[in-house]
Structure 1
C-alpha cells in the first residue's frame, strides 16, 4: 500500500490502462462502465502529474467519482447507440457454394440431418425436396443449413 501511495498518479494511470484493456479486449465494450472508470483513472493520474490535483487518496477518490459521473452522463447515449448498431448482412464463408446430394427427403414434417465437417447439421428448406436431389446451401444459422435445389 505504501508503494501505491508514494506513486499514486502512476498507479492510477496503470490501473486505468488495465481497465481500458480489459473493457476493449476481453469484454468488447459490452459493459461500458469499465471504459468510464478507466478513462477517469487515467485522467485523474494525468491531472495529478500536471499538478492540477493534489497527490492524495482523497483527491483521487473524489476526482474519479466526479469524472466517472461526467463521462457517464456525456457518453452513455452515444455508446449505447454504438452497441445497438448491428450489421445484419450475410457473410460468405466456407459454406459458400457447398453442394451435396440429399440422402433423405427434406420437408417441414420431419428433421433431416447432414454430416459436414464432423458436425450433424439440421437441414431446412422453403419447399419440400426429395432424396437424391443435388442441393446447394443458401443460408446458414446455428446448427442449421438452409438448402435449395442446385441449378
Structure 2
C-alpha cells in the first residue's frame, strides 16, 4: 500500500510538473514545425512562374497610371500649343519717343494753382490761372481777379 501511495504521489507530482510545463513544450514544438521547410518538387518552375506573374502585374500597374505631375504637364503643354495669345514682337516696328515738353496744361487745376500761391510760387500760380482761363472761359473773370491779387501781394512783400 505504501508503494501505491508513493506511486500516486509520484504520478500526481509528475502530473503537476507536467501540467505546468506542457505549454512551453507545445510552443517549442510549434516553433519547430514552423521552421520545418516543406520539401519542394524537383523543379522550381511553378514558384518562378508565380513570382514572374506578380512582377509583371506590379510593373504594368506603374506604367499604366501616370503621376499627377505628368497629367498636369500634359494639360499645360496642350494649352500652350492650342491657345497661344502672346504675339511675338516685330523687329520692324519703330518706336516713336515723344519729346519731353513743359506743357502740363492738361494737369492744371484750381487746386494746383492755389497750392502754388500758398507755396509762394507766384509765377507758376499766374501761369496756372492763365491756363485755367483758356480751359474754362466761363470763369475768366474769376481767374483774372486771382491773378491781380497775386500781383498785388507780390508787390507788397
TM-score, with normalisation over the residues of structure 1?
Answer: 0.22
Q: Which one has more relative contact order, counting CA pairs under 8 Å at least 6 apart? A: 1
- Structure having the higher Rg: 2
> Which structure has more helix as a fraction of its residues?
2
> Which structure has more strand as a fraction of its residues?
1
